[in-house]
C-alpha cells in the first residue's frame, strides 16, 4: 500500500509500496501532481512555486529524520512514454545513506529496467514510524517563514 506523506491543493507526496530505492539505502518518495502534466514547463507559476516548496521541505525532512548523507532529486518519467496519454511529470526523492547496500556510494542512482523482479518486494519500503516522523517534520518545516511565503505565492 502506498502511504501519503504530504498533500495539498496541487500535489501529493507518496511512499511507494514497491520503491526503486531500498529504505536501507536511504529510501524513496515520489512527488505527484494531482492534475497530470507531461513536463514541469506545463505547470502554472503557482504550481511551480509549490513544486519547489514541497521538494525543498521533503528533502530537508529526509535529511533530518532519516540521517541520510545525500538527497537525489530525479525528474524522470521515461518509463511512461509508451503509456496511454504518455509520461506523467513527477519527482523522485532518493535518499542516499552513507553505507549503501544496493547502490554504490558516490555514484548516480542505478535503476534496473522497468518490470524487473527487484521491484516486486526485494527493496524495503519505509516503515509506518518513518512515514509518521516524515509527515510531522514536513509539517513543521512548512510552517517556517520562507515556506509560508512560498505557499502564499503559490495561492495556498
Written as nine digits, the cell of 45 is 507559476
Residue 81 belongs to a domain with what CATH number? 3.30.428.10
How many other C-beta atoms lie within 10 A of the C-beta of residue 36?
A: 13
Look at the alpha carbons of 73, 140, 10, 149 in this order and tell me if their dihedral is positive or negative: negative
pTM, two decimal places: 0.92
pLDDT, one tens digit per residue, over 9-62 is 999 999 999 999 999 999 999 999 999 998 899 999 999 999 999 999 999 999
Listed residue (151, 148, 146, 142) closest to 59, CA to CA: 142
Note whether residue 26 is domain-resident.
Answer: yes
Instruction: Examine the pLDDT at 1 and tell me if it is beyond 60.
Output: no
Note whether residue 139 is domain-resident.
Answer: yes
Note whether residue 108 is domain-resident.
Answer: no
pLDDT of residue 105: 87
Note whether residue 118 is domain-resident.
Answer: yes
Domain count, the chain: 1
pLDDT of residue 101: 87
pLDDT, one tens digit per residue, over 66-90 is 999 999 999 887 777 777 877 888 9
Helical ranges in the chain per DSSP H: 45-66, 128-142, 145-153
- CB of 156 closer than 8 Å to CB of 8: yes
Amino acid at each position: 500500500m502506498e502511504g501519503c506523506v504530504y498533500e495539498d491543493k496541487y500535489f501529493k507526496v507518496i511512499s511507494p509500496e514497491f520503491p526503486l530505492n531500498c529504505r536501507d539505502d536511504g529510501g524513496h518518495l515520489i512527488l505527484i501532481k494531482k492534475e497530470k502534466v507531461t513536463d514541469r514547463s506545463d505547470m502554472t507559476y503557482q504550481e511551480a512555486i509549490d513544486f519547489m516548496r514541497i521538494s525543498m521541505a521533503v528533502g530537508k525532512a529526509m535529511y533530518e529524520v532519516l540521517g541520510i548523507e545525500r538527497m537525489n532529486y530525479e525528474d524522470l518519467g521515461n518509463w511512461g512514454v509508451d503509456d496511454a496519454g504518455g509520461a506523467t511529470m513527477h519527482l523522485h526523492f532518493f535518499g542516499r545513506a552513507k553505507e549503501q547496500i544496493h547502490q554504490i556510494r558516490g555514484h548516480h542512482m542505478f535503476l534496473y529496467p522497468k518490470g524487473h523482479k527487484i521491484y516486486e518486494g526485494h527493496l524495503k519500503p519505509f516503515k509506518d514510524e518513518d512515514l509518521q516522523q516524515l509527515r510531522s517534520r514536513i509539517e513543521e518545516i512548512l510552517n517556517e517563514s520562507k515556506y509560508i511565503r512560498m505557499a502564499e505565492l503559490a495561492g495556498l
